[in-house]
C-alpha cells in the first residue's frame, strides 16, 4: 500500500534541482496572534475573555496525521474531547470541558457554514490544510453567538492568500486502506483581489479488525471543494466571499444490518469589515443546505436541513472603551421525509452589545449581552462578564462568568446515532439553561509557559433518552441539573529546536440517571486525562515528534459487559523530511495497538430498545495504524 512513495522519491530530484527561496520563518510569537471570534479584533493576550489559539504550526503537525479531517487536531487540545457517537459509522461530536457535543458551535470564519447544530459528522468532513488558525472559547458563549454556543465555540479561520501564487499537493495513504488527496492553491487575480481554493478526495475501506462480521472502521468516499475570494484595499476595508460543496457516502455495520449515511452539503458566505471614519462596520451572512439519507438496517430516513444567518455590527473606540453593538437574524429549518412530525422551523432575531474597557495596563474588563427572540421559546437574555488582571510581569489572571441557553430539537447525539423512527415523545418544555464560570492563571518563566484553569458549569433541563417500551424511546428533560467542575493544566517548554508540552485535565460531571433519577457520573466522561508530547523541528531539514496520552476510566451507559471502562494509554510518532519543494512524512498512531475489542465485543448480545446493536466506543476501534505520504509545493 505504500508503493506510491517511490513516486515521491522520484520527485526529489526535481525538488532539489529547483529549490525555492528560503521560506520566511513562521510567526510563533503569541503577541502577533489576532483573535476574530470575539469581534473586537484584539491580540490574543489582550482579550479579557480567554481564547485559545492553535496556530499554523500545530495545524501543520496534525495535517500530517489526518489530512482529511480535523478530529485529531481538536482531540489533542486540552479540555476538548472528540467522542465517537456512532461506532457503526464512525460519527463523532466535540465536547468542551465535559459538556455534550450538541452545545459546541462550530464556525468557519465566524459563519455557521456547518449549520446551527454542527452534528456528529461535520468534524470528519473538514480538511485542515486551508486553516490559518483555530480559535477556541470554552464555556458558555451565547452572548457572542446565540443558543448553539452553550458549551463553547470553535472558530476555524481560513488561510489568507499570499501576494504570490502558491500551489500545494498532498497525498496520503494509511495501512488500513485510507487514501487522501488534497490540493491547495492561492494568489492574486487583480489589484486588491486574491483567491484561494482547496479541493480534496478522501476514501476509506471498511475494516473488521476483530473479524466478528461488524465493521470497526466505517468505509466512506468523499469529495469536497471550497473556493474563496478576498478583496482588501489596505485601508481598513475588506471582504471575504466563500462557497463550498461536499459529497460523502459512508457505510458500516454488517451484511445483515447495514448502517449507511449519504450526505450532500452546499454553502455560501460573506464576511466584510469597513472602516468609516472612526467606526468599523461589520457585515456577515451565510446560507447552508444539507441533505442526508440514513439507513439503519431495513429502515431508511431522509432529511434536509437549512440554515440562514445575517449580522450587522458597529465597533467604535471611545477613550478606554471599545464598544460593539449589532443585530443578527438566524433561521433553521429541518424537514424529515419519513418522520415529518419532528419537522421544525426556528427564526431568531437578536440584539447584542459588548464593551471592552482598558482600565489600565494591568487591568481590562469586558461585558457582553445578547437578547434573542426565539420563535418557539420566546425572549432569552445571555450575559457574560470577564476580567483580565496582570498582577506582575509574566503573570496573567483571567476571570469569567456567563449564562446562556440551548434551544432543544429532536436532533441529539443519540438520535443521530439511532434515527427518529423509534422516538415516541419529544417533550422539550423549554430551553436548556446553563451558567459557567472559569478562573485562569498563566505564568511565563523564561522559555517555559505554565497555565492553570479552574472551571465549572451547571446545565438545567438537558434532554436525555429514556426507554419507553421494548422498541421505543422518549426524549425528556432530566429531573435535575448537570453539574460539572474541573481543572486544566498545561506546561510548554521551548528548548532550542525542541518543544515539549505536558497537559492534564480533570473533569467531574454528574447528572440524574434518566431511568432512576439517581445522580451518577455522566457517561463517556473520563475524570482524568493527560498528555505529553515532544517535537524537534528544523525549518530546512524536517521534524520528528513523539506523543503519549492517557485516558482515564469512564462510566459506560447500559453496557452488558462492564459498568466502567479501564484506563488506557495511547502512543504516536511522526517524522517529516523536507527536500526543497518536496516533503516526505510518515506517522504512526496507537503504537501499543490498544483496541476496545481486545477487552470486550463491540456488538451487543441483543439489540437495544433504541435500535443500537453496538455498545459505546470508549477506546480506539482501529488499533495500530501507519500513514505516509508526500507534499509538493509548486
Task: For 565-596, give one letter per residue: b (16+ CB within 10 A) or e.
Answer: beebebbbebbbebbbbbbbbbbbbbbeebbb
pLDDT at residue 11 in the model: 38
d(CA 504, CA 486): 11
pTM to 2 decimal places: 0.92
d(CA 207, CA 622): 8
pLDDT at residue 29 in the model: 39
Q: For the sheet containing 52-54, what is the strand order?
A: 52-54, 131-138, 152-158, 104-108
Which residues make beta-bridge pairs with 574?
A: 545, 587
CA atoms within 13 A on the CB side of 141: 26
CA–CA–CA angle 595, 87, 77 (5° rounding):
70
Report domain extents, the chain: 5-633
pLDDT at residue 2 in the model: 37
pLDDT at residue 212 in the model: 95
CATH code, 5-633: 2.40.170.20
d(CA 519, CA 500): 39
Total number of residues shown for the chain = 634
How high is the mean pLDDT in each 10-residue block of the chain (634 residues)? 38 38 39 74 86 93 94 92 91 93 93 77 85 95 91 94 94 98 97 97 97 96 98 94 97 96 97 94 97 96 96 95 96 96 97 96 96 97 97 96 96 92 92 96 95 98 94 95 98 96 98 93 97 96 97 95 97 97 97 97 96 96 97 94
Residues 6+ apart with CB under 8 A from 558: 608
Question: What is the β-pairing status of strands 131-138 and 52-54?
Answer: antiparallel
Amino acid at each position: 500500500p505504500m508503493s506510491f512513495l517511490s513516486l515521491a522519491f522520484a520527485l526529489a530530484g526535481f525538488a532539489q534541482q529547483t529549490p525555492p527561496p528560503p521560506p520566511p520563518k513562521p510567526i510563533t510569537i503569541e503577541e502577533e496572534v489576532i483573535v476574530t471570534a470575539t469581534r473586537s479584533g484584539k491580540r490574543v493576550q489582550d482579550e479579557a475573555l480567554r481564547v485559545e489559539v492553535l496556530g499554523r504550526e500545530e495545524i501543520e503537525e496534525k495535517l500530517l496525521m489526518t489530512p482529511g479531517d480535523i478530529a485529531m487536531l481538536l482531540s489533542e487540545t486540552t479540555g476538548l474531547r472528540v467522542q465517537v457517537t456512532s461506532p457503526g459509522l464512525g460519527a463523532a461530536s466535540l465536547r468542551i470541558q465535559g459538556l455534550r457535543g450538541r452545545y459546541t458551535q462550530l464556525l468557519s470564519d465566524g459563519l455557521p457554514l456547518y449549520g446551527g447544530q454542527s452534528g456528529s459528522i461535520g468534524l470528519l468532513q473538514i480538511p485542515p490544510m486551508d486553516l490559518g488558525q483555530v480559535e477556541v472559547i470554552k464555556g458558555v458563549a451565547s452572548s457572542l453567538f446565540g443558543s448553539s454556543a452553550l458549551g463553547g465555540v470553535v472558530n476555524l479561520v481560513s488561510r489568507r492568500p499570499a501576494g504570490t501564487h502558491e500551489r500545494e499537493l498532498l497525498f496520503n495513504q494509511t495501512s488500513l486502506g485510507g487514501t487522501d488527496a488534497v490540493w491547495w492553491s492561492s494568489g492574486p487575480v487583480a489589484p486588491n483581489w486574491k483567491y484561494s481554493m482547496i479541493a480534496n478526495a478522501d476514501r476509506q475501506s471498511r475494516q473488521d479488525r476483530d473479524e466478528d462480521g461488524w465493521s470497526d472502521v466505517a468505509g466512506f468516499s468523499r469529495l469536497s471543494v471550497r473556493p474563496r475570494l478576498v478583496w482588501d484595499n489596505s485601508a481598513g476595508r475588506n471582504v471575504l466571499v466563500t462557497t463550498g460543496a461536499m459529497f460523502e457516502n459512508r457505510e458500516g455495520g454488517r451484511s445483515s444490518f447495514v448502517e449507511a449515511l449519504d450526505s450532500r452539503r452546499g454553502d455560501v458566505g460573506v464576511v466584510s469589515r469597513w472602516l468609516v471614519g472612526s467606526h468599523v462596520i461589520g457585515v456577515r451572512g451565510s446560507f447552508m443546505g444539507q441533505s442526508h439519507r440514513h439507513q439503519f438496517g431495513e429502515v431508511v430516513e431522509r432529511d434536509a436541513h437549512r440554515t440562514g444567518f445575517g449580522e450587522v455590527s458597529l465597533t467604535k473606540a471611545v477613550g478606554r472603551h471599545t464598544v460593539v453593538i449589532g443585530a443578527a437574524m438566524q433561521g433553521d429549518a429541518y424537514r424529515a421525509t419519513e418522520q415529518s412530525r419532528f419537522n421544525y422551523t426556528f427564526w431568531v432575531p437578536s440584539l447584542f452589545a459588548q464593551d471592552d474597557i482598558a482600565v489600565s495596563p494591568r487591568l481590562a474588563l469586558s461585558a457582553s449581552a445578547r437578547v434573542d427572540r426565539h420563535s418557539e421559546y420566546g425572549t432569552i437574555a445571555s450575559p457574560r462578564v470577564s476580567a483580565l488582571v496582570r498582577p506582575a510581569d509574566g503573570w496573567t489572571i483571567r476571570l469569567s462568568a456567563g449564562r446562556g441557553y440551548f434551544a432543544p430539537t429532536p436532533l441529539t447525539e443519540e438520535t443521530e446515532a439511532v434515527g427518529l423512527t423509534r422516538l415516541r415523545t419529544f417533550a422539550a418544555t423549554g430551553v436548556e439553561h446553563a451558567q459557567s464560570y472559569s478562573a485562569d492563571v498563566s505564568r511565563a518563566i523564561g522559555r517555559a509557559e505554565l497555565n492553570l484553569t479552574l472551571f465549572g458549569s451547571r446545565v438545567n433541563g438537558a434532554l436525555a433518552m429514556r426507554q419507553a417500551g421494548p422498541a421505543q424511546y422518549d426524549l425528556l428533560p432530566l429531573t435535575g441539573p448537570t453539574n460539572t467542575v474541573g481543572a486544566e493544566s498545561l506546561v510548554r517548554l521551548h528548548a532550542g529546536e525542541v518543544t515539549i508540552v505536558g497537559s492534564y485535565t480533570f473533569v467531574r460531571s454528574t447528572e440524574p440517571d434518566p431511568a432512576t433519577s439517581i445522580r451518577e457520573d455522566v457517561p463517556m466522561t473520563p475524570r482524568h486525562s493527560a498528555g505529553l508530547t515532544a517535537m524537534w523541528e528544523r525549518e530546512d531539514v524536517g521534524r520528528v515528534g513523539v506523543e503519549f496520552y492517557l485516558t482515564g476510566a469512564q462510566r459506560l451507559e447500559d453496557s452488558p459487559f462492564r459498568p466502567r471502562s479501564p484506563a488506557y494509554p495511547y502512543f504516536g510518532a511522526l517524522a517529516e523530511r523536507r527536500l526543497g519543494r518536496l516533503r516526505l512524512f510518515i506517522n504512526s498512531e496507537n503504537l501499543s495497538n490498544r483496541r476496545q475489542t481486545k477487552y470486550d465485543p463491540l456488538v451487543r448480545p441483543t439489540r437495544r430498545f433504541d435500535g443500537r446493536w453496538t455498545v459505546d466506543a470508549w477506546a480506539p476501534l482501529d488499533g495500530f495504524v501507519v500513514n505516509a505520504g508526500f507534499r509538493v509545493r509548486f
